[in-house]
Structure 1
């Protein structure tokens, strides 16, 4: 690792091996449980794709968190600078600054952002609104209308609050097929750096120049 990279600190990235993903949706469930996301807000989804033509048809599962782009379109369009990229590479949203205009949702080419309309699981689960998971380290208390993140945009942050405790993102920790890898991309000896350099590696919609921090293996 060079001196400049050492000063900047870790550059977080995720690698997802599509050959190992079994489409179990454990990442989706664990993410919702960890981040206490309301109905209609799902930071981790698994897209299903069919490849080829009958009778030679294949199936692939493509998990899609926020790409944490190095050139994020969502940051460029935010009129109040509520969305910004941290030095460690994670794109976050300041819910106290966000005005809910949703320009960033329209700008995201990956469909990885959601608006919190204030919907709730209270009818299905007792006490659902009493505990609000911290958004990048800030405990916002019980959910209620007029209090962020209700009325603002939400997205995956690589479970930043877990990283601050020295833990992996919930989706990585719970992946049944061990398809997800997380670490410091600036460290050439890290697992993610070695996998990102593999000939199997690719990024979604590379032609857009967004430079995602989520890398896939074919």
Structure 2
């Protein structure tokens, strides 16, 4: 995987807003109570799963939002201790919990609201025991956390669990620097949009439209 730049392509036409990616992520990574790394938002009406417009002219789409694993991440630039860093093998933006001092500068610098969370207290789990992958990182008090692109799975040659679990096959993952990869071919053949491209972060998540 050395020298690769991995990312996601999410087919907003196929996505049905089932939240399977969110739940699979939460289980795989043993996320604490009230912590979600991958949110499913409704681009439509004022409430979840509602459309905008007046019948029969309605409009609705689902947008899954997590860390954008930017090529030029603002969070990495502001971290004073190197706890937020880009993985050289995958291009994923990662967090080193042991280095994190809880200053939350990465949260302030990130233009993508809500993709990070801060553990004010010791992480708790309502069922009382861990359910995640044994290789997933252990959550710690007073640290920032977010989507890791399931780097523990990548290290084993597996794809992120949200991609594997997607029932509608709307999520795709692969090497953006390889023109022959499935994800590169998808992006080349479809119209797409990215979140806040004007920020100059060069996100590695493409929303196919």
Q: TM-score range by the shorter chain?
A: 0.7 to 0.9
- Indicate whether 1:114 and 2:93 are aligned: no
Instruction: Provide the C-alpha distance between the structure 2 equivalents of 1:84 and 1:131, rounded to a whole number of angstroms.
Output: 22
Q: 1:62–1:108: structure 2 CA closer, same or farther, 3 Å change rule? A: same
Does the 8 Å CA contact 1:120/1:128 hold for their aligned counterparts? no
Q: Trace 1:132-143 onto structure 2 (pairs within 5 A).
A: 134-135=136-137, 140=138
Q: Trace 1:156-195 onto structure 2 (pairs within 5 A).
A: 156-195=147-186
Secondary structure in 1 matching 2:58: strand
Residue 18 of structure 2: aligned partner: 24
Q: 1:76–1:9: structure 2 CA closer, same or farther, 3 Å change rule? A: closer
Does the 8 Å CA contact 1:202/1:217 hold for their aligned counterparts? yes
How much does 1:199 deviate? 4.1
How much does 1:10 deviate? 2.2
Residue 102 of structure 2: aligned partner: 100
Residue 53 of structure 2: aligned partner: 53
Does the 8 Å CA contact 2:123/2:140 hold for their aligned counterparts? no
Instruction: Provide the C-alpha distance between the structure 2 equivalents of 1:126 and 1:82, rounded to a whole number of angstroms.
Output: 28
Instruction: Provide the C-alpha distance between the structure 1 equivalents of 2:178 and 2:132, rounded to a whole number of angstroms.
Output: 40
RMSD of aligned Cα (Å): 2.1
For structure 1, the 5+ residue unaligned runs are 1-5, 141-147
How much does 1:21 deviate? 0.5
Structure 1, residues 149-198: CA drift from partner, whole Å, max 9, x if none? 22100011110000111111010000011000111111111111112223
Residue 9 of structure 1: aligned partner: 3
How much does 1:129 deviate? 8.9
Secondary structure in 2 matching 1:74: helix
Instruction: Provide the C-alpha distance between the structure 2 equivalents of 1:130 and 1:161, rounded to a whole number of angstroms.
Output: 11
Secondary structure in 2 matching 1:197: helix
Does the 8 Å CA contact 2:4/2:175 hold for their aligned counterparts? yes
Does the 8 Å CA contact 2:29/2:132 hold for their aligned counterparts? no
How much does 1:126 deviate? 3.4
Instruction: Provide the C-alpha distance between the structure 2 equivalents of 1:78 and 1:37, rounded to a whole number of angstroms.
Output: 23
How much does 1:64 deviate? 0.9
Higher mean alpha-carbon deviation, 79-88 vs 89-98, is at 79-88
